[in-house]
Amino acid sequence: MSGQGQTKLSSLRHVTFLGGGAMGNALAEGLVTSGVLPKGCRISISDPYTQPAAAKKHPNCVTAMTDNIKAIESSDLIFLCVKPNLIVPVMKQVAPHLKGSELIVSIAAGVQLSVVESILQKKQKVLRLMPNIPALVHCMAGGICAGKHATTEDVQFI
């Protein structure tokens, strides 16, 4: 990770995962177990349908929620881990509540960055990450691309 990526990482206070399915849980658990997050950084996983496994396994550092709006409050980094057919409704729900400084990372297969960016009301930094099955055992290699307002540093950070 680059020097700027390290600086950005050390300033994280709150990471949110919207969607608590297999991939969202794998990414959240990977952050917890890797030890890369700064002390005191909170992780929230919002899912209205299920109790996320990462919250059950790591109750001291991962909070399960059912309200996406509350989940994104004070978030620095937001992972969109919902099914592709839910990206638009979830983004329309949370977009009015974003500050504009959050980095948004979508893992929704087949959903172009332009779709996510078109819903946002601010010039938001958006990345698209294509994780793969090894993420479930914390050995992921994934493709990543940047939206209109994301920087090389944002890509390196993720």
Q: Do the Cβ atoms of 149 and 123 come closer than 8 Å?
A: yes
Model confidence over 22-72: pLDDT tens digits? 888 888 988 888 888 888 899 999 998 877 777 777 778 889 999 999 999
Tell me the whole-structure pTM to 2 decimals: 0.89
- The domain locations on the chain are 3-157
The sign one gets for the Cα dihedral 153, 154, 155, 158 is: positive
Q: What is the pLDDT of residue 3?
A: 43
pLDDT at residue 8 is higher than 80: no
pLDDT at residue 131 is higher than 50: yes
Q: Minimal CA–CA distance to 34: which of 50, 52, 66, 12? A: 12
Q: What is the pLDDT of residue 136?
A: 59
The fold adopted by the segment(s) 3-157 is Rossmann fold (3.40.50)
Q: Do the Cβ atoms of 34 and 41 come closer than 8 Å?
A: no
Q: What is the pLDDT of residue 68?
A: 97
